[in-house]
Structure 1
Amino acid sequence: MAAPSEARERRPFGRRLLTDPARLFQHNAWDNVEWSEEQEASARSKVQENSSQLLPQDKQEEYEVNAKKYWDDFYKIHENGFFKDRHWLFTEFPELAPNRSSSQNGDSGSGFSNTEESNNEGLGSCENGHCSLETRTGSQLNLIKSPPRGHTEELAAQNDSELSQNGGDYPGLAASYRILEVGCGAGNTVFPILQTNNDPGLFVYCCDFSTTAVHLVQNNAEYDASRCFAFVHDLCNDQSPFPMPEESLDIVILIFVLSAILPEKMQCIVTRLSRLLKPGGMILLRDYGRYDLAQLRFKKGQCLSDNFYVRGDGTRVYFFTQDELDHLFTTAGLEKIQNLVDRRLQVNRGKQMTMYRVWIQCKYCKPTTLQP
């Protein structure tokens, strides 16, 4: 994982533009790629085609009921083998670095950085409908243990017990800066933060729907219970407790998480998370944008509703527009700091392959004063 000082030296969004098609394979990625009318029409046509046949309602309900099982199975199979280190993390979200120098320049901010690495493998990875934006270089996190069979139920029970016993006391009570990552997975965001940010006042919470994922985090060699608390949490259950009180968090992180949730439940979740923020606290989001490669690759029979799909492994994914995300956050009472879309052309120079990716990055802040 590159240090924040190194990350800031990478070219910011918009600086690497493909003006000469002959130079296509000279770099691993091209920023802010303009789509032609034909390409936009082709993407729209593919989405219309792959969404023309919706799954029956009983099948859709089955995927909702069994959502936890599908994500548990995902992490049992992949552990840390699929998602790679997030080299862009501190470039795009300096709020997570020790100096906590947040960008307040809205849409004119640095945006998505160029994350080119030296091995010409800048395509990320795509498997079973999961398309990551991480590059394939860099040291991998040391996840040393996989969850024993039968342990996930024990962990869930232990988690519920710990949360219900907190009362007026809670993990991270004495901290001066508190971060929560929702949907932490195997820890690819949590551990870089803990490794990079040595602020003694920092405390990091992380939760996931999957007990298998939380167990992977808790058994990571870098897990430090004095600085971090990992717990199982069902975002869709508004009775599921958080370990911290409302208005106690400085940052909430949502990286490729909101897209995995039933669209009609998203607003309630965002509103509930906003209540955890201190005045001036922020939600940081990065997620799939409309017409991303992952959306265009779906076949007929995988669509649940408009722009919402089920992968072959049973996990689900939604593809956002900027306006949809802006509505979710502003309805929750938050103010826009940043809402950017990046149409990125990623290149594998070794295989002479290209992939068009579309991601959205947002920062929304809780007002410091009451709205009239």
Structure 2
Amino acid sequence: KFEFKCLRIICNYTMFGTRFLTDPKQVFQHNAWDNVEWTDEQEEAAKRKVSENNYPLPADMQEDYDIRAHEFWNEFYTIHDNRFFKDRHWLFTEFPELAPQCSLNHTSHQEENRSEIPDPKTCRDSGAEDSRDFPGSSASYRILEVGCGVGNTVFPILKTNNDPGLFVYCCDFSNVAVELVKSNPEYEPERCFAFVHDLSDAEASYPIPDGSLDVIVLIFVLSALHPDKMQASIRRLAGLLKPGGTILLRDYGRYDMAQLRFKKGRCLSENFYVRGDGTRVYFFTQDELHELFTKAGLEKVQNLVDRRLQVNRGKQLTMYRVWIQCKYKRNS
């Protein structure tokens, strides 16, 4: 039996949930438990499982998955449309930077009332209008989500943050996904600009000048890139930030349930896999992400592991999720 301990993580103004499992007998009382600490035995078992399946596919097959990546993601969104996803209601708890920007002290405000979203009437002006001519050039606060999918981050932001100075950009590798965003009745062209972009192509231009963004959001998207292309992609994104601008990331952590479920024949390289539908995924450590961001000239604000125990009460199954959440800032 695994030993269960509760681990409460507090860093700046973020805390991953408040439902802690203190009695293993109660595990099936809820659908999920927050911040579950793994035992040494559990960690070792996960390492063995990954090692057993660490037999990379031939180079020609790996190259084929790379060449056809656009095709696989288009097929993914064509099949699932917008029925596959749910809105991410945790966004403003974990990333208050996406809510109206206010002069309130984030630490005390978020700890006192994590569910409250600030009133935009109390918000400060986050900067003067930009004189350059581009979509959203007159905005005072600009957010870009890279890998937007069908808009399950973008639309909650637009609905929640009614700051008149806000402009939201969103892009995806898949043109099918971007068309789904644009066809959504909640898409507002006067407040949002959706476009197709390949994050892995560091030479591709963005419709936004360098030094113009306040926030860049990466939610389960960096892991879809080939590991060799990650550093250049992050460096390119860092150049889009204003001084003081921040990259927000949430992605798969090492030994997440999804990694442990991969069978032999799905490994592309160490900790990098291909799913049955042809899409790819990498599983990070905190140190790997820290190195990617700091080599791009960014400074750490937050780098945390979120270990969660999800429960299927009907089937009496437990599933261990491991995610990493990061915030890195450009200082100059």
Name the TM-score class by shorter chain.
0.7 to 0.9
- Which residue number corresponds to residue 212 of structure 2? 248
- Which residue number corresponds to residue 353 of structure 1? 317
Deviation at 1:87, TM superposition (A): 1.6
Q: Secondary structure at the match of 1:237?
A: coil
Q: Secondary structure at the match of 2:303?
A: strand
Alignment counterpart, residue 72 of structure 1, candidates 68, 71, 74: 74
- Which residue number corresponds to residue 206 of structure 1? 170
- Which residue number corresponds to residue 5 of structure 2? none
Q: Equivalent residues in 2 for 1:184-263 (5 A)?
A: 184-263=148-227
Q: Secondary structure at the match of 1:240?
A: coil
Identity over the aligned pairs, expressed in percent? 70
Flag the 1:259–1:102 CA change in 2: closer, same or farther, 3 A: farther
- Which residue number corresponds to residue 328 of structure 1? 292
Residues 126-156 of structure 1, C-alpha deviation per residue, up to 9 Å, x if partnerless? xxxxxxxxxxxxxxxxxxxxxxxxxxxxxxx
Alignment counterpart, residue 171 of structure 1, candidates 128, 135, 141: 135
Flag the 1:102–1:191 CA change in 2: closer, same or farther, 3 A: farther
Question: RMSD across aligned C-alpha pairs, in angstroms?
Answer: 2.1
1:170 is aligned with what amino acid? F
- Which residue number corresponds to residue 264 of structure 1? 228
Q: Secondary structure at the match of 2:43?
A: helix
Deviation at 1:169, TM superposition (A): 1.8
Contact 1:94/1:101 (<8 A) preserved? no
- Which residue number corresponds to residue 45 of structure 2? 42
> For the residues of structure 2 that align with 1:36 and 1:240, how far apart are their CA atoms?
44
> For the residues of structure 2 that align with 1:325 and 1:102, how far apart are their CA atoms?
30
Contact 1:95/1:101 (<8 A) preserved? no
Deviation at 1:81, TM superposition (A): 1.9
Structure 1 runs not aligned, ≥5 long: 1-10, 115-167
TM-score relative to the length of structure 2: 0.86
> For the residues of structure 1 that align with 2:186 and 2:214, how far apart are their CA atoms?
23
Q: Which portions of structure 1, spanning 4 or more consecutive aligned residues, are displaced by more than 4 angstroms?
A: 100-105
Contact 2:53/2:267 (<8 A) preserved? yes
Residues 175-231 of structure 1, C-alpha deviation per residue, up to 9 Å, x if partnerless? 000000000000000001001111111000000000000000010001111000000
Aligned positions, number: 300
Q: Equivalent residues in 2 for 1:50-129 (5 A)?
A: 50-51=53-54, 53-99=55-101
> For the residues of structure 2 that align with 1:270 and 1:103, how far apart are their CA atoms?
29
Deviation at 1:100, TM superposition (A): 5.2
Flag the 1:32–1:295 CA change in 2: closer, same or farther, 3 A: same
TM-score relative to the length of structure 1: 0.77
> For the residues of structure 2 that align with 1:72 and 1:310, how far apart are their CA atoms?
16
Deviation at 1:28, TM superposition (A): 2.0
